[in-house]
Amino acid sequence: MRIALLAPPGVQSLDIVGPAEVFWEAARRLGNPNAYTVQVIAGSADPVLGTGGLRFLADRHIFQPDEPIDTLLVGGDPSFETIDPAIVQWLRRRATNVRRLGSVCTGVFLLAAAGLLDGKRVTTHWECAARLRTEYPNLDIDSDQIFIRDGNLSTTAGVTAGMDLALALVEEDYGRDLALIVARYMVMFLKRPGGQSQFSAHLAAQISGKTKIQQAQQYVLDNLAAPLSVESLAEQAGMSVRNFARVFRQEMNMTPTEFVDAARLDAARLLLEDGGKSLQQIALRCGFGNADGMRRAFIRNLGVGPGEYRLRFRSAWAGTNHAPSSHSTLNRP
């Protein structure tokens, strides 16, 4: 399969390098270099200056004769300075004859400019979502997703989400076993399927800059099954209840109770995706009290019950539609 990675001027370098590494590693593990043939395509014959001072000498440019493309992924320019009309025209033409089309991060703006997203559900980096809504009001934008697949179209959040998408495409093509091996080798989380939030309580805890608030947050993450009242968290932080609640909200843009709810949901979602424990076991472990309490929390926050969530997201990673390869190279360290 030929994977074409379009690198516009000023491209976020990891938009190109990240997916390329995933596909290359998958082919290596299969013992077949031609399982994926990765090509970087540019808007001209000149080297492309990417972020981080990296320069890409593309394999091809858009003015050369077309070659067959299986999967076309478009990188984004975080500066938003210009959109090359020639690239837009090329995308319009090539999008009609590829099996899969997608964007990484702000690459979605190029697809939108080409008119390829009307009526589609898409995502992008949370910081750019407002601009995307303003410039392209006809799009159905969900800015809180790692990646979204709508038919043969995929759009992703921030730069590392392009690697998550590439990993999902590898699983679609060659099965879960290979995707897991690639994820482990690249020290990636396998459990970040499309539909997962760009935000989590664990990430929020890392972002917090106040030691006392971090201490309380870590206590929550380590003791989900315990009663986690605002009073108990304030005690962990060594602060008065009133001051703790005020500082927490100021720092995190959420209340302590909302953080506890988010942490419990995060933990439950991961356990549901793994699929090994019963709903009651997960509810007790994550502090919901019982399965009914967990169900109410899921419906209130996610719009689906835990049973439906498990079916939806476990199937995204544990499907058996593609038999894994039996190549011995899968076991290579």
* Residues noted as catalytic: 105
Backbone φ, ψ for residue 153 (5° rounding): -100, 135
- Spatial distance between the Cα atoms of 19 and 3, rounded to a whole number of angstroms: 9
Q: Which run of H or of E encompasses 309? A: helix 306-318
Give the pair of three-digit tokens for residue 87.
Answer: 């690239």
Cβ-based neighbours of 305, under 8 Å, separated by 6 or more: 295, 298, 299
Cβ–Cβ < 8 Å for 91, 116? yes
Cβ–Cβ < 8 Å for 39, 3? yes
Query: Measured between alpha carbons, how far apart are the two ends of the chain, in Å?
Result: 24
* Residue at 242: amino acid letter: R
Give the pair of three-digit tokens for residue 108.
Answer: 């979605």
